[in-house]
Structure 1
Amino acid sequence: MNQPIVFIDGDQGTTGLQIHTRLSGRTDLRLFTLPDVERKDPRRRAEAINAADVAILCLPDEPAREAVGAITNPSVRVIDASSAHRTQEGWVYGFPELDLGQAERIAHAKRVSNPGCYPTGAIALLWPLVKAGLIPADYPISVHAVSGYSGAGRAGIDLYEAPGSAAAPAFQVYGLGLSHKHVPEIQHHAGLSQRPFFVPAYGAFRQGIVLTIPLQLRLLPSGVNAKRLHESLLRHYEESSHVQVMSPEWAAATTHLDPEALNDSNELRLAVFSNEAHGQVLLAAVFDNLGKGASGAAMQNLDLMLRAM
């Protein structure tokens, strides 16, 4: 078989650069990007995407929709790293660990929507527990997350790394209008019937995420406790090579979570913390927003798709 052509549209952005770096040394494919003078030429972009076996879109939402609209070659397969198609019918959600068979669906899909960074952690924690009936679909979910500033893209990197960055805030909560674009994605793929609260923040570190979801045991079905929640997550991910479900002993001995602990990896670490005396549980996820939360996930999806070609 000829080497498949992989075209990155938007390889100068944060995610695109990471994907380009990860693919640049590979010999099982031909990597193609447009030169600087052609990146904003709609005709050349359309030609490039239609000549590809797999196109990876690292673009803002509207340009991503335009790129998909320019596809006339029915053989072209797409991984879209934007949020444009994550809840759209006809697109396969690119989280291979979502369910049994999801990796196979990704492998044979024409259109794959790469998950958002924050939704990766929230959905990984919530969906197995909602599906198992341990968390009601209408539970008043609150998701709190802190990401490295690279999560804001080039603007965030410039704020913290360009001249004058000493004045950048050490910590900032945002999304205070409660309309963050990741909320519909979390609700949809976590199986929630009610819109969750989502409170994101950036810290003064480049990459990495800690995401937490508090639960009140009195609001969960009778008999649900931290042990059952942990066991359900463990069963769901027992055959997953990139998701670690930490033991109750690990959780009991852990006094803090480092958002940078899994940087430069495609790993996702999940844990269940609890205080049974107070009837409270805290679900937690740690991962790299540029790894499992973006380019790492895209590579995982790409490899699944290439193996099926």
Structure 2
Amino acid sequence: MARTVFIDGAAGTTGLEIRERLHGRSEFDLVALDDARRKEPAARAEALNAADFAILCLPDDAAREAVTLIEPGSRVRVIDASSAHRVAPGWVFGFPELVGRDTVAQAARVSNPGCYSTGFIALLAPLVAAGLLPADWPYTCNAVSGYSGGGKTLIERFEGDHDIAWRGYALGLGHKHVPEMQQCCGLAIPPIFSPAVIPAHRGMVTEIPLPLAAMARAASAETLRFALTEFYAGSRIITMGEEPLFGEILLRRSREPSDRMELFVFASADGSQARLVALLDNLGKGASGAAVQSLNLMAGLDETAGLRL
């Protein structure tokens, strides 16, 4: 029997991409509210409590409200794609490669990782946990993303103003991804995070520079690369990238949707410095693809079903 899935916020970018990944799949029946009812609390409450799974593709406050609409004893299991519950008690962080596939499969409440933090955590968390990089280092993270992750307003801004070449933001150092980046990597100090948006619809590069020679208890770049290769050896979604052609990584405006993520470790000739780099689709493993991966596991299915790999 097919499981019912209600996407609360199905008209947004993340919701639309989740629907695309579930389209035509016999394992799920999508529950939809028409435009006249999709913002009515009573209609949403009815759909939430009647579904087997609910995926919240909403702003943070609306996601919190949605959870309050779920009645005690309801069978619905929730995946929240907002940042409202990423470090909240009682919620499982929806990163199966790190928290465990069985943990996600058995969870009643799963919070989707943020797009930027997905790359940062994938690179750093296994290395800190293994003692190959120090937990008390003041890490920095530089990242660029396509504008589709910013929602309707930012999409309209970029597509309406073709003179924008680069948009740096979170200049007050309070980006909402930082708490999960710190917590999931077990860091003593919040990382300094410098995000930016570029005039491409999708795609993301996240980088962590490492001055290895100045870091006590830091392993060599070769050891870091080997450790990440071993850690993700069983994953069809997260892989180690090949040595890039011409020594460069490109984000193309014509990039096709993908739910994969590639990791790289680059090093200086003398080994004193390294750059950890993650390349992903901010709408794929960084959002909708991650939600569908968790949904698959929670439904007892292959985690890659419906994903674009």
* Length-normalised TM-score, structure 2: 0.93
What are the residue-to-residue correspondences of 1:89-238 with 2, within 5 Å? 89-99=89-99, 102-161=100-159, 164-167=160-163, 169-222=164-217, 224-238=219-233
Provide the residue aligned with 1:299 in structure 2.
292
What's the offset of the Cα at 1:62? 0.7
CA distance in 2, matches of 1:28, 1:155: 34
1:256 to 239, 248, 270: 248
1:211-250 superposed Cα distances (whole Å, 9 cap, x missing partner): 1100011233457211011011111111111011135xx1
* Counterpart code for 1:255: G
Alignment check: 8 A CA contact 2:220 2:271 kept: no
Alignment check: 8 A CA contact 2:221 2:271 kept: no
1:39-88 superposed Cα distances (whole Å, 9 cap, x missing partner): 11101100100000000000000110110111114311000000000011
What's the offset of the Cα at 1:254? 4.9
Q: Cα distance 1:143–1:3, how it changes in 2: closer, same or farther (>3 A)?
A: same
Q: 3-state SS of the aligned residue for 1:97?
A: helix
CA distance in 2, matches of 1:187, 1:222: 19
CA distance in 2, matches of 1:54, 1:231: 38
Give RMSD over aligned pairs. Answer: 1.6
* Length-normalised TM-score, structure 1: 0.93
What are the residue-to-residue correspondences of 1:81-92 with 2, within 5 Å? 81-92=81-92
Alignment check: 8 A CA contact 1:140 1:194 kept: yes
* Counterpart code for 2:55: I
Q: 3-state SS of the aligned residue for 2:162?
A: helix
Q: Cα distance 1:105–1:222, how it changes in 2: closer, same or farther (>3 A)?
A: closer
Matched residue count: 299
Q: 3-state SS of the aligned residue for 1:98?
A: helix
Provide the residue aligned with 1:27 in structure 2.
26
What's the offset of the Cα at 1:278? 6.5
Provide the residue aligned with 1:48 in structure 2.
47
The gaps in structure 1 that reach 5 residues or longer are none
Q: Cα distance 1:17–1:222, how it changes in 2: closer, same or farther (>3 A)?
A: closer
1:106-142 superposed Cα distances (whole Å, 9 cap, x missing partner): 1110000011100000000000110011111111100
CA distance in 1, matches of 2:259, 2:39: 31
* Counterpart code for 1:256: E
1:246-302 superposed Cα distances (whole Å, 9 cap, x missing partner): 35xx16x55211234974111000000010426110000000000010001111111
Q: 3-state SS of the aligned residue for 1:37?
A: coil
What's the offset of the Cα at 1:193? 1.1
Alignment check: 8 A CA contact 1:19 1:295 kept: yes
Identity %: 50
1:16-51 superposed Cα distances (whole Å, 9 cap, x missing partner): 111112212212111012110001110110010000
What's the offset of the Cα at 1:191? 1.2
Alignment check: 8 A CA contact 2:133 2:217 kept: no
Q: 3-state SS of the aligned residue for 1:241?
A: coil
CA distance in 1, matches of 2:230, 2:240: 9
* Counterpart code for 2:84: A
Q: Cα distance 1:144–1:46, how it changes in 2: closer, same or farther (>3 A)?
A: same
* Counterpart code for 1:34: L
Alignment check: 8 A CA contact 2:132 2:218 kept: no
Alignment check: 8 A CA contact 1:208 1:263 kept: no
